[in-house]
Amino acid sequence: MIAEAPGHGVTELARRCGQTKARTFRLLWTLEQRGVISRAGQDATYRLGHAALIWGAAAATQHDLVRVAQPLLKALGEETGETTKLRIRDGLDCLTVAKWEPDRELRCHSLVGRRHALQEQPGLVLLAHAEADIQRQVLGSLPPAAARDLAQTLDRIREQGFNVTRSEFDGTRESISIAAPVFDQTGMIAASVAVAAPASRMDEARQTVVAAALGKAVRHLSTALGHRHRF
């Protein structure tokens, strides 16, 4: 019912289900805790949550962004030989909603459904292009010095057009990830795409090649979502 008609509160949902408000609220609370639905606004209306997005191939196929992105993630992964990931913003978090991994022993593994705070490395591209109020919320939650450093990082990401980060994987090895934004028909950021590889395969020359391939991929995906590029 929420999938077909999102935006209703507990009273209307109880009426439509023929249940008491108390019973309906308990069910909604359980679904919300599991991420199946989310509650938003002062009116406490409900809509589908992130778990509904990542449940099975059918759910992914029905989600336009994931459906359109999957073949592009695969093509980018095959071109670079590395793991590719699609992330979206969910509140003040970033959420991995799709991935592709190469068939090679040493690779960066990814988990659909994994969350990170926007100010963490995986979310920086999404944060850099997020609405001003989202950026203010994140920056306002940090100590002044950290907020200034992060603001400078976001400026650099917007100017450069992509972001390169380093992190650990498999406990001991270092990985390098290059991420870039995807825009929709309104010009707003819709997602980010990242290519992640063991650092041993990502020297500076290789990073340049991967960044170019990533740039083409996010441009194609943005176009598929209706974004009109400025030349």
Q: Is 147 exposed, middle or buried (0-12, 13-18, 19+ CB in 10 A)?
A: middle
Torsion, CA 71, CA 182, CA 193, CA 200, rounded to 10: 120
**How confident is the prediction for the chain on average, in pLDDT?**
87
Q: What amino acid occupies position 179?
A: A
With respect to CATH, is domain 60-224 assigned 3.30.450.40?
yes
Question: How many CB atoms are closer than 10 A to CB 185?
Answer: 12
Residue 104, CA distances (Å) to 58, 91, 108, 160, 209 in order: 27, 34, 10, 31, 20
Could you say which DSSP state residue 14 is in?
Answer: H
Domain boundaries, the chain: 10-48, 60-224
Give the pLDDT confidence score for residue 62 in this predicted structure. Answer: 46
pLDDT at 80 over 90: yes
CB–CB of 1/13 below 8 Å?
yes
Give the pLDDT confidence score for residue 43 in this predicted structure. Answer: 65
pLDDT at 83 over 80: yes
Answering whether pTM is above 0.75, one says no
Confidence bin at 61 (pLDDT 50/70/90): very low
3-state SS assignment for residue 128: helix
